[in-house]
C-alpha cells in the first residue's frame, strides 16, 4: 500500500445507493478513502488520467447509462496499468448471465446489493479487509458470488 | 433346389427349350414313321412283284400247254385250225419272257433261272416245229416222230419243273423278306401312336404354361390398371400432375390433373410446352424458360419452383421435378411431376408470421423478466434499506404507533420481495437441452438441505433419505425442486410437532400410474417426500400446483403460492410428473416421477 489507508472507488448512477455506500463507510470508521463517480464515463475519465492515484478496490455497478459496468470492466482489464485494482461488481441483480459475463471478463467478486443497512456495512468491511491475493488465487465460479 | 427348378419351369427359356426339344423328338419320330411306311410300301411292292411273277409263269405255262394241246389236236384231226393257238402262244411266250426278265431284274439267281427257262422254252418250240413238220409229212409212225414226241414231253416236264423252282424260290425270298420286315413293321403303329401321344402331351404342357402366363399377365394388367386409377386419385388428393416429355419426337403428354392444376378441363388444350408456359407468372417466366432450356439440354430436371396464373386470375405456386427413363424399346422419356404447393407456402408463411409473433412475445417476456429482476427490486431494496436505517437511527424518535407502522411496512416489503424472487424463479425455470447432465442426485439433495440449514435447525426437523441413483437432469432445477419441497414441508409443519421428512426412492412401471399410462417412457424413477405436517384435503391435490394458489391465509403461513408451481414446472421440464396426497393434520406426500432414459 502506498498510503496507510485503503483507497475505495464506487461508480454508481443511483443517488440512494451512493448515499448508503458513503454512510456505511462513515459509520465503519476504517482507514479508507472513498471516491464516488456517478457513471462509467466519469470513472474512466478519472482513471485514465496519467497522474491519477489508482484505487485498491473498485466497486462497479452494472446498469449505468452511457457506459455500463461491464464495458468499464473490459476496458480496465485490457489496460496493464490497472492490473492491481481489485474489482467488485456491485449490482441489484444477480442473474446467472451477469455473474457469468463479469466472471469471464475478470472481475474479482460479485456483490448483490443487500436490502439491509447492517448487512451492507458487514459486506463492505469484509471486502475491504479481504486478502485479495488469497481470494484471487482460489477464485472460481462458486465463490465468485459473495455469500453471507 | 425346388425353388430353383420352379423358377426355371416358369421361365420363358424353359418354354423355349421344351418346345425345341419336342420339335426335335416329333421330327425324329416322324422320320422313323416315314421309314416304316416306306418299308411297308416296299414290301407291298415285293409281294406284288412275286405275284406278277407267279401269274406270268402261269401264263407261260398255259401258253405252252395250249400250244401242246393244239399240236395234238392237229396231229389227230389234221385240222389246221388247231394250230392257231400255236402261233399266238409263240408271241405271247416272248412277251411273257420279256416281262419275267423285267420282274427278276436285280436278282441274279432268278435271272439265271429265267435264262434257263428261256432255253427250255426255245427247246420246246423247236421240238414243236419238228413234230409238226413230221406230222404234216404224215410220218407219225416213224421212230423220229416218236422220239421227238417223247423229247417234247420230257422237255415240257422240265419246263414245269423249272417254273416250280422259280415260284418256290420266289416264295422263299418273299418268306425271308417278310420275316425280316415283319419284325420292324409290327412296331410301326406303336411308334406312330407314341409320336401322337407325345405331341399331344407337349401341346398340353405348352398350352398350360401359356394359359398360366396369360393369367399372370392378366393379373399384372389389372394391377397396373388399379395402380393407374390410384395414381389418378393421389394426383387429385395431393394436388400434383404428371407429364411425359418424349425426347425422341419432342412431344408432351399431360395427365388430367395437370390441367386441373392450371384451372382447366382435362385435355382441353394441346399438351405442348408453349401452351403450358403461357400460364406462367410474368415474373417467373424468364426463370422457367431458362430451366426448361436447361432441361432440354441436359435431359434432366432438378427441383424447380415457379408461379402460374390461372385464367380465373388466382396465382398458384408450382414445384416440378423430372427424371429420364429409357423404356425397353430404347425410347428416352422424361417423366415429370408438377405439384401445386400453394397451400404449403401459405401455411409456411402463416407459421413464419406466428413464429415472429412468438419471438416478439418472448422478447417482451424477457424484458418483463428484466424489469422484475432489476427495476422492481431496486426500489424495493431501497425501501427496505431505508427501513433498516429508520430502525437503527430513528428508533427512539418514534412513537409506539410509528414503531408498529414501521414493523408493518417491513413485513409487507419482505413479502413483496419473496413474491418477486419466486416469480423470477418461476420465469427462469425454463427447459434447455444443453443444461441436462448426468448428476448425482444425492449431492443435489444435500446442497438443497444445506441452503435450508438455518430453518432446519430452527424447527428441529429430522430429514432421512434413501440413496438415489444418478440421472440426467438439469442440476440446479432438481436442487430447486428438493429445496422447494423441503421448505414447503417445513413451512406447513404442525404447531409444536418437530417436522419429520422422509425421502424415499423406488422404480415404477408407467402402467401403474394412471397419468403415465400413455407416456412414451416405460419406467420411472420415483422419489417420495413424506412429511408429518398439517397436510391438506385430497380434493385440493391438483389445485396446489397452480400459480398463486394458496390453501391458507397469508397471515398464518408465509407462502407465495409459487413454490409448488415451480416444482411442477421443473418436473415437466424433465418429462416427469408430480402428484400430491394430503391427509389433514397427519401430513402430505409429494411423489415425483422422472423417466428412466436409455
Chain A residues near residue B373 by CB distance under 8 angstroms:
93, 95
| Coil, helix or strand at residue A55 | coil
User: Least CB-CB distance to B385: which of A93, A95, A116?
Assistant: A116
In Å, how far is A52's CA from the nearest CA of chain B? Answer: 32
The verdict on a CB contact (< 8 Å) between B385 and A63 is: no
pLDDT at residue B6 tops 60: no
Please list the residues that pair with B527 across neighbouring strands.
B505, B592
Q: Give the Cα separation of B501 and B487 in Å (integer).
A: 11
Contact B388 A16 (CB under 8 A): no
Task: Report the residue of B372, B384, B386, B388 to disrupt the A interface, i.e. the one with the largest count of A CBs within 10 Å.
Answer: B388
Specify the length of chain B in residues: 598
Task: Give whole-number Cα distances, B562 to A19, A49, B424, B428, in Å.
Answer: 35, 51, 10, 13
Q: Predicted confidence band at B467 (pLDDT cuts at 50, 70, 90)? A: very high
Q: Are B377 and A92 in contact (CB under 8 A)?
A: yes
* Chain B residues in contact with chain A using a Cβ-Cβ cutoff of 8 Å: 373-374, 377-378, 380-382, 384-385, 388-389, 392, 417, 428
- Range A6-144 classified under CATH 3.40.50.2300: yes
Q: How far apart are CA B514 and CA B511, in angstroms?
A: 7
CATH assignment of B434-595, among 1.20.1630.10, 3.30.565.10, 3.40.50.12280, 3.40.50.150: 3.30.565.10
What is the rounded CA–CA span in Å between residue B384 and residue B390?
10
User: Does B193 score more than 90 pLDDT?
Assistant: no
**Residue range B153-181: mean pLDDT, rounded:** 81
Under the banding of pLDDT at 50, 70 and 90, the label for residue B19 is: confident
* E runs forming strands in B26-74: none
What's the pLDDT at B554? 67
Max avg pLDDT among B128-142, B199-213, B398-412: B398-412
> Which band of pLDDT confidence, cut at 50, 70 and 90, is reported for residue B385?
very high
User: Across the interface, do A113 and B381 touch by the CB < 8 Å criterion?
Assistant: yes
Structural domain boundaries in chain A: 6-144
Cβ within 8 Å of residue B282, ≥6 positions away: none
Domain B239-340, classified CATH 3.30.450.20, yes or no: yes
Q: What's residue B4's pLDDT?
A: 54
Q: How many CB pairs under 8 A join A and B?
A: 34
Contact of B594 with B471, CB cutoff 8 Å? yes
* Residue A116 Cα, gap to closest chain B Cα (Å): 5
CB B448 within 8 A of CB B482: yes
- Tell me how close the Cα of A117 comes to any Cα of chain B, in angstroms: 5
And the C-alpha cell for B6?
420352379
Contact in structure between B317 and B342 (CB atoms under 8 Å): yes
**Residue from the list A92, A115, A116 with its beta carbon closest to the beta carbon of B374:** A92
For chain B, what is the radius of gyration of the CA atoms? 65
Nearest to B321 by CA among B239, B228, B242: B242
Collapsing DSSP to helix, strand or coil, B315 comes out as: strand
Using CB atoms, pick whichever of B373, B381, B428 lies closest to residue A115: B381
Averaged pLDDT, B84-102: 77
Q: How many CB atoms lie within 10 A of CB B443?
A: 13
* pLDDT above 90 coverage of chain B, percent: 29
Confidence category of residue A1, pLDDT binned at 50, 70, 90:
very low
State mean pLDDT over B261-276: 89
In the predicted structure, residue B7 carries a pLDDT above the cut 70: no
What SS3 class is residue B174? Answer: helix
pLDDT digits (tens, 9 = 90+) for A42-66: 999 999 988 888 999 999 999 888 8
Amino acid at each position: 500500500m502506498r498510503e496507510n489507508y485503503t483507497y475505495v472507488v464506487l461508480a454508481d448512477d443511483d443517488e440512494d445507493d451512493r448515499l448508503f455506500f458513503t454512510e456505511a463507510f462513515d459509520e465503519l470508521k476504517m482507514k479508507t478513502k472513498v471516491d464516488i463517480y456517478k457513471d462509467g464515463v466519469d470513472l474512466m475519465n478519472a482513471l485514465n488520467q496519467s497522474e491519477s492515484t489508482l484505487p485498491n478496490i473498485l466497486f462497479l455497478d452494472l446498469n449505468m447509462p452511457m457506459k455500463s459496468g461491464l464495458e468499464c470492466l473490459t476496458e480496465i482489464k485490457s489496460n496493464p496499468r490497472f492490473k492491481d485494482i481489485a474489482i467488485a461488481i456491485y449490482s441489484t441483480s444477480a442473474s446467472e448471465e451477469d455473474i457469468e459475463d463479469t466472471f469471464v471478463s475478470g472481475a474479482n467478486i460479485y456483490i448483490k446489493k443487500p436490502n439491509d443497512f447492517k448487512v451492507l456495512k458487514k459486506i463492505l468491511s469484509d471486502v475491504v479487509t479481504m486478502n485479495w491475493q488469497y481470494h484471487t488465487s482460489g477464485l472460481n465460479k462458486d465463490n465468485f458470488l459473495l455469500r453471507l | 433346389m425346388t425353388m430353383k427348378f420352379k423358377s426355371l419351369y416358369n421361365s420363358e427359356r424353359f418354354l423355349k427349350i421344351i418346345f425345341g426339344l419336342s420339335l426335335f423328338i416329333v421330327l425324329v419320330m416322324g422320320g422313323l414313321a416315314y421309314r416304316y411306311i416306306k418299308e411297308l410300301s416296299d414290301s407291298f411292292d415285293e409281294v406284288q412283284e412275286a405275284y406278277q411273277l407267279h401269274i406270268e409263269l402261269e401264263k407261260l405255262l398255259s401258253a405252252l400247254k395250249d400250244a401242246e394241246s393244239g399240236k395234238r389236236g392237229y396231229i389227230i384231226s389234221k385240222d389246221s385250225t388247231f394250230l392257231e393257238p400255236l402261233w399266238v402262244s409263240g408271241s405271247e411266250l416272248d412277251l411273257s419272257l420279256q416281262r419275267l426278265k423285267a420282274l427278276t431284274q436285280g436278282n441274279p439267281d432268278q435271272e439265271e433261272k429265267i435264262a434257263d427257262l428261256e432255253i427250255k422254252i426255245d427247246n420246246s418250240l423247236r421240238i414243236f416245229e419238228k413234230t409238226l413238220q413230221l406230222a404234216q409229212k404224215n410220218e407219225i409212225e416213224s421212230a423220229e416222230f416218236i422220239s421227238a414226241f417223247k423229247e417234247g414231253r420230257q422237255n415240257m416236264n422240265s419246263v414245269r419243273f423249272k417254273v416250280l423252282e422259280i415260284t418256290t424260290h420266289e416264295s422263299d425270298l418273299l418268306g425271308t423278306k417278310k420275316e425280316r420286315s415283319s419284325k420292324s413293321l409290327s412296331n410301326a403303329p406303336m411308334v406312330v401312336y407314341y409320336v401322337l401321344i407325345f405331341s399331344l402331351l407337349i401341346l398340353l404342357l405348352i398350352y398350360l404354361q401359356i394359359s398360366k402366363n396369360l393369367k399372370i399377365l392378366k393379373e399384372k394388367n389389372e394391377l397396373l390398371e388399379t395402380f393407374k386409377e390410384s395414381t389418378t386419385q393421389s394426383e387429385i388428393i395431393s394436388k400434383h400432375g404428371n407429364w411425359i416429355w418424349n425426347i425422341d419426337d419432342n412431344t408432351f403428354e399431360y395427365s388430367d390433373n395437370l390441367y386441373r392444376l392450371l384451372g382447366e378441363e382435362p385435355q382441353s388444350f394441346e399438351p405442348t410446352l408453349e401452351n403450358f408456359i403461357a400460364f406462367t407468372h410474368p415474373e417467373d417466366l424468364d426463370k422457367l424458360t431458362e430451366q426448361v432450356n436447361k432441361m432440354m439440354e441436359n435431359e434432366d430436371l432438378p427441383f424447380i419452383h415457379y408461379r402460374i396464373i390461372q385464367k380465373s386470375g388466382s396465382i398458384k405456386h408450382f414445384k416440378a421435378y423430372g427424371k429420364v427413363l429409357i423404356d425397353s424399346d430404347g425410347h428416352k422419356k422424361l417423366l415429370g411431376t408438377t405439384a401445386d404447393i400453394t397451400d404449403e407456402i401459405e401455411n409456411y408463411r402463416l407459421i413464419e408470421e406466428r413464429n415472429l409473433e412468438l419471438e416478439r412475445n418472448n422478447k417482451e417476456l424477457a424484458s418483463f423478466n428484466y424489469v422484475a429482476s432489476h427495476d422492481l427490486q431496486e426500489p424495493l431494496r431501497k425501501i427496505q434499506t431505508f427501513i433498516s436505517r429508520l430502525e437503527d437511527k430513528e428508533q427512539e424518535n418514534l412513537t409506539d404507533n410509528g414503531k408498529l407502522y414501521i414493523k408493518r411496512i417491513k413485513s409487507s416489503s419482505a413479502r413483496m420481495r419473496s413474491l418477486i424472487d419466486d416469480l423470477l424463479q418461476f420465469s427462469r425455470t425454463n427447459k434447455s437441452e444443453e443444461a441436462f447432465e448426468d448428476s448425482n442426485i444425492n449431492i443435489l439433495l444435500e446442497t438443497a438441505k444445506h441452503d435450508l440449514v438455518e430453518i432446519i435447525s430452527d424447527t428441529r426437523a429430522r430429514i432421512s433419505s434413501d440413496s438415489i441413483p444418478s440421472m440426467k437432469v438439469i442440476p440446479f432445477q432438481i436442487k430447486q425442486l428438493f429445496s422447494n419441497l423441503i421448505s414447503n414441508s417445513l413451512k406447513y409443519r404442525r404447531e409444536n410437532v418437530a417436522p419429520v421428512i422422509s425421502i424415499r426412492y423406488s422404480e415404477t412401471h408407467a402402467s401403474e400410474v394412471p397419468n403415465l399410462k400413455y407416456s412414451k417412457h416405460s419406467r420411472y424413477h420415483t422419489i417420495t417426500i413424506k412429511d408429518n405436517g398439517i397436510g391438506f384435503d385430497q380434493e385440493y391435490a391438483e389445485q396446489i400446483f397452480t400459480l398463486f394458489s394458496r390453501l391458507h391465509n397469508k397471515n398464518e403461513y408465509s407462502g407465495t403460492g409459487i413454490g409448488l408451481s415451480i416444482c411442477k414446472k421443473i418436473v415437466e421440464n424433465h418429462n416427469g410428473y408430480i402428484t400430491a396426497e394430503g391427509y389433514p393434520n397427519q401430513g402430505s406426500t409429494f411423489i415425483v416421477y422422472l423417466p428412466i432414459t436409455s
